[in-house]
A = this chain, B = another copy of it.
Amino acid sequence: MTTHRVHNFGAGPSTLPLPVLEEVRDELVDYRGSGMSLLEMSHRGDHYDAVHTEAMRLAREVFALPDDFDVLFLQGGATLQFSMVPANLLTDGASAAIVRTGSWSRKALADARAYGDTYVAWDGANGQFTRTPTDDELQLRPDTRYLHVCSNETIEGLRFPEFPDAGVPLVADMSSDIATRELPWERFDVVYGGAQKNLGPAGMAVVFLRRATLGTMRQDQGAYLRYGIHADKDSLYNTPPVFSIWVTGKVLRWIRDSGGLKAMTAAAERRAGTVYEAIDSSDGFYRCPVEPHSRSLTNVVFQLPDTEAEAAFLDAAREQQFVGLRGHRSVGGCRASLYNAMPQDGADALATFMDDFRRRAS
């Protein structure tokens, strides 16, 4: 029997690879003949240890992570990282530079201020968040410890097509485009992202950390908030989020077996290109407010001529089993999120639907 599947364009949590879901289902109750679910097993035992180690190994392999970086699997999503990054990195006399490109970098900025001297290195608010800056637009102070960027703003639908090369270490929140692109690791001290869009279920952030930074980190927080403690214990200081790590490991294997990050990038470009083409060829019926160079590959935002047309579009889409196309409540409009597990079929079907809807509406 074929599994009933809708086209899921939700911004996250979102589509997971069907073979991964089916494997989880099949292994859920009795894990490999052990007489227990993996959910019931000690995180210090052999079965879980193999799962944990393999997920870490696959993360290193898929991301081509240099040896001098650690992989951490932490709870609290990217939101807790908004606190952990400055609570660890922002030492006395140093400052954090934040590029404000949209809603998520605004949250990172607000949280960083609780931990030390923080400033805005470039502000996209004046341009209503429609592009990312060029390197020469960044205004950096000499005491800057790191430059924080949100590589892809999920809500505004824009991204850094290239990461800044700014002469200070980068920290990147990649929650909505992690595992969709290769990274110039030499520029980064920390890369983090919630798992629930491209990597697995909600309940975890993956954090990549340059090991040399551990020596100069602040130690004035409780244990869970200190990177050094998790790095020392391979993310087993306390009970890890077993299910999230288990499923993320399977998704990482699926990514590797699908051709790795190069293939993910190619697929992302093709999917997004299909939907942007439907927008750009619509004679202005659909409109993407983001400047072409900064358009996101994972979150395509677009508007229709008016809110009435948008409501009719979303209703018609739902009837055709297109799910999750409503834009974020803070900005309105429409949004098609196209993460790694979205097949090209989904983008094709959406583009066809958009063309048809436009013709009927004209």
Contact = CB atoms under 8 A, between A and B. Distances in A.
Interface stretch (A54-62, A155-163, A241-249, A296-304): A241-249
B79 A224 contact: yes
A203 B204 CA distance: 8
Interface stretch (A80-88, A256-264, A276-284): A80-88
Contacts of A44: 329
Interface in A30-71: 30, 33-37, 39-45
From A13, A33, A204, residue with most partner B Cβ within 10 Å? A13
Contact of A25 (B25, B110, B247): B25
A contacts with B: majority SS: loop
A216 interface: no
From A12, A16, A110, A239, residue with most partner B Cβ within 10 Å? A239
From A18, A204, A243, residue with most partner B Cβ within 10 Å? A243
A349 to B, nearest CB: 13
A42 B75 contact: no
- Copies per complex? 2
Interface residues of A, number: 73
A202 B42 contact: no
A44 B329 CA distance: 10
A321 B36 CA distance: 11
Contact of A75 (B80, B223, B225, B243): B80
B223 A79 contact: yes
Given A13-B39, A25-B28, A196-B242, 17 more contacts: A10-B42, A13-B42, A25-B25, A25-B29, A35-B321, A42-B324, A45-B324, A75-B241, A83-B221, A83-B222, A83-B223, A83-B225, A86-B222, A111-B223, A115-B222, A203-B241, A203-B243
